[in-house]
Copies of this chain bind each other. A is one copy, B any other.
Amino acid sequence: MNDETPARRPRRGGGRNARVALRSAPLEDAARPVRAGLSGGKYRALTDAEVLRIHEAALTLLEEVGMALAPDSGVALMTAYGAIYSEEDKRLRYPREVVERALKQAQKQVTLFARDPKHDLDLSGTRVHYGTAGAAVHLADAEIGEYPESTLADLYNAAKITDQLDNVHFFQRCMVARDVLDNREMDLNTLYACVSGTSKHIGTSFTEPAFAADGLEMLHIIAGGEDAWRARPFVLNTNCFVVPPMKFATESCEVMEVCVRGGMPVLLLSAGMAGATAPAPLAAVIAQAVAECLAGLVYVQAIKPGAPAVMGTWPFVVDLRTGAMSSGSAEQALLSAACAQMGQFYDLPTGAPGGMSDAKFPDAQSGAEHAMASTMAGLAGLNMVYEAAGMYSSLLGFSLEGLILDDDVLGQCMRCVRGIEVTEDNLNLDLIKSVCLDGPGHYLGADQTLGMMQTEYFYPQHSDRMSPKEWDEKNRPQLLQKAIDRKHDILSKPGWSRLSPEIDAAVRARFNIHLNEI
Please name 9 further chain A to chain B contacts, defined as beta carbons within 8 Å, in addition to the given A1-B135, A286-B420, sorted by A numbering.
Answer: A3-B255, A4-B240, A7-B277, A42-B45, A280-B451, A288-B432, A330-B411, A331-B456, A364-B479
**Pairs of residues from A and B, 9 with the lowest C-beta to C-beta distance, nearest first:** A367-B367, A10-B276, A330-B415, A281-B426, A368-B371, A364-B367, A367-B368, A320-B453, A330-B412
Choice from B320, B426, B463, B472 contacting A283 with Cβ under 8 Å: B426
Residues of B within 8 A of A451 (CB): 280
Query: In the complex the two chains form, what is the Cα distance from A333 to B380 in whole Å?
Result: 16
Task: Return the contact of A420 from the options B319, B334, B375 (Cβ within 8 A).
Answer: B334
Tell whether A118 is near chain B: CB-to-CB under 8 Å.
no
A318-345 vs B, CB cutoff 8 Å, 1 = contact: the mask equals: 1111111110111101100010000000
Least CB distance from A71 to B in Å reads 14
- Asked if B394 contacts A463 (CB within 8 A), the reply is no
A-B contact pairs, 8 of them (CB 8 A): A4-B173, A276-B444, A280-B449, A281-B421, A326-B465, A329-B457, A334-B419, A368-B409
A61 interface residue, CB < 8 Å from B? yes
A16 located at the interface, meaning its Cβ lies under 8 Å from any Cβ of chain B in the complex: yes
Judge whether A114 is part of the interface by a CB distance below 8 angstroms.
no
Interface residues of A in 259-283 (CB under 8 A from B): 269, 271, 273, 275-283
Q: Of residues 343 to 367 in A, which have CB atoms within 8 Å of B's CB atoms? A: 358-360, 362-367
Q: How far apart sit A66 and B402, CA to CA, in the bound complex (Å)?
A: 49
- In the complex, the answer to whether A396 meets B468 with C-beta atoms within 8 Å is yes
- Bound: A334/B329 CA distance, A: 23
A110 at the interface (CB under 8 A from B): no
Residues of chain B with a CB closer than 8 A to A360's CB: 464, 468, 471, 476
Q: Does A429 contact B (CB under 8 A)?
A: yes
Is there contact, CB below 8 Å, between A365 and B396?
no
Q: With A206-B3, A331-B456 in contact, is A45–B419 under 8 Å at CB?
A: yes
CA distance A338 to B419 in the complex (A): 9
Identify A363's interface contact among B138, B276, B331, B367, CB under 8 A: B367
Is A429 in contact with B61, judged by CB distance below 8 angstroms?
Answer: yes
Given A8-B396, A412-B329, A420-B45, is A280 in contact with B463 using a C-beta cutoff of 8 Å? no
A423 within 8 A of B: yes
* Least CB distance, A49 to chain B, in whole angstroms: 8
Residue picked from A46, A207, A435, most chain B C-beta under 10 Å:
A435
Contacts of A458 in B (CB 8 A): 329-331
A511 interface contact, C-beta 8 A: no
Query: A107 contacts the other chain (Cβ, under 8 Å)?
Result: no
Partner of A359, one of B43, B134, B479: B479
Output the least CB separation between A316 and chain B (Å): 6
Q: A323–B448 contact, CB under 8 A?
A: no
Q: Is A54 an interface residue (CB 8 A)?
A: yes
Contact of A467 among B324, B425, B436 (CB under 8 A): B324
Docked pose: A435 CA to B425 CA in angstroms: 58
